[in-house]
Amino acid sequence: MTLLKIENLNLSMRSFEGETQILHGIDLKIERGEIWGMVGETGSGKSLTGLSISRLIPSATGRYLAGSIAFEGRDMLKASEREMRPLRGRKIGMIFQDPTTNLNPVFRIGTQLVDVALHAGAGDPSVLGLEPGASRAQRKKAALKVAIDMLDKVGIPDPEKRIHDYPHQFSGGMRQRVLIAMAMIGKPDLLIADEPTTALDVSVQAQILKLIHDLVEERNIGVLLITHNLGVVAQICTHVAVMYRGRILETGPVMQVLKKPSHVYTQALLDSIPTAQTKRGELRGLGGIMPELQS
Ligand SMILES: Nc1ncnc2c1ncn2[C@@H]1O[C@H](COP(=O)(O)OP(=O)(O)OP(=O)(O)O)[C@@H](O)[C@H]1O
Q: pLDDT by residue for the chain (295 residues), tens digit each?
A: 899 999 999 999 998 889 999 999 999 999 999 999 999 988 999 999 999 998 888 888 999 999 999 999 999 998 888 888 878 877 898 887 765 667 888 999 999 999 989 888 887 788 888 888 888 888 899 999 999 998 988 888 999 999 999 999 998 888 888 988 888 888 889 999 998 887 777 877 888 888 889 889 988 999 999 998 888 899 899 999 999 999 999 999 999 998 888 888 888 877 776 655 555 555 455 555 454 555 4
Pocket test for ligand 1, best of 9, 11, 13, 230 (most atoms within 8 A of CB): 13
pLDDT of residue 36: 97
Contact 154, 208 (CB under 8 A): no
Amino acid at 274: P
- List, chain by chain if needed, residues with CB within 6 Å of any ligand 1 atom: 13, 15, 22, 40, 42-48, 61, 228, 293
Contact 148, 114 (CB under 8 A): no
Which atom of ligand 1 has the smallest separation from the CA of 50?
18
CA-atom Rg of the chain in angstroms: 20
pLDDT of residue 32: 96
Report ipTM for this prediction. Answer: 0.95
48: Cβ contacts below 8 Å, ≥ 6 apart: 11, 13, 22, 23, 57, 62
Residue (of 70, 77, 71, 67) closest to 92 by Cα position: 71
Contact 229, 252 (CB under 8 A): no
Residue nearest to atom 18 of ligand 1 (CA): 45
Q: How many whole angstroms from its chain centre is CA 263?
A: 25
The stretches of 46-130 forming alpha helices (DSSP H) are: 46-53, 81-84, 99-102, 109-123
Helix (H, G, I), strand (E, B) or coil at 42: coil
Cα(252)–Cα(266) distance, integer angstroms:
12
Give the domain ranges of the chain: 101-187
Contact 103, 115 (CB under 8 A): no
Its pTM surpasses 0.90: no
Residue nearest to atom 7 of ligand 1 (CA): 13
pLDDT of residue 262: 84
Return the HEC string of 217-253.
Answer: HHHCCEEEEECCCHHHHHHHCCEEEEEECCEEEEEEE
pLDDT of residue 12: 94
